[in-house]
Amino acid sequence: MKPYIGITGFMSGDEVRAMLNLMPKNCSRKLMVGVLTDWRTLNGLTPNKWPNRYPAIKEIPGIFTDHPVVLNIAHYHTRELTTLHWQLENLVRSCGPNLHGLQLNIAWPHPMLLKLLRAKHPGVDIILQIGDAAFEIIKHSPERLAAKITEEYDGLIDRVLLDPSGGTGKEFDPAEIAEYLSALKKTRLDFGLNFGLGVAGGLSSKNLRHVELLLSEFPDLSIDAEGRLRNPDDHLDLREAGKYARKAIDMFSV
pLDDT digits (tens, 9 = 90+) for 194-237: 999 999 999 999 999 999 999 999 999 999 999 999 999 999 99
Query: What mean pLDDT is predicted for residues 28-43?
Result: 95
Given the candidates 3.40.50.2030, 3.20.20.70, 3.40.50.2000, 3.40.50.620, the CATH classification of the domain at 4-253 is 3.20.20.70
CB 202 within 8 A of CB 228: yes
pTM given for the model: 0.96
- Could you tell me the pLDDT band of residue 242, with boundaries at 50, 70 and 90? very high
Query: What mean pLDDT is predicted for residues 162-182?
Result: 87
CA 154 to the chain's CA centroid: 19
Task: Catalogue the long-range contacts made by 49-58 (C-beta closer than 8 Å, 24 or more residues apart).
Answer: 50/167, 50/234, 52/11, 52/230, 52/233, 52/234, 52/235, 53/9, 53/11, 53/167, 53/226, 53/230, 53/234, 55/10, 55/11, 55/12, 57/94, 58/94
Phi and psi (nearest 5°) for 50? -115, 65
Domain ranges for the chain: 4-253
3-class secondary structure per residue, 193-238: CCCEEEEECCCCCCCCHHHHCCCCCCCCCEEEECHHHECCCCCECH
CB 61 within 8 A of CB 89: no
> So what's the pLDDT on residue 237?
97
CB 145 within 8 A of CB 107: no
> So what's the pLDDT on residue 168?
63
- Could you tell me the pLDDT band of residue 46, with boundaries at 50, 70 and 90? confident
Q: What is the pLDDT of residues 141-155, one digit of tens each?
A: 999 999 999 999 999
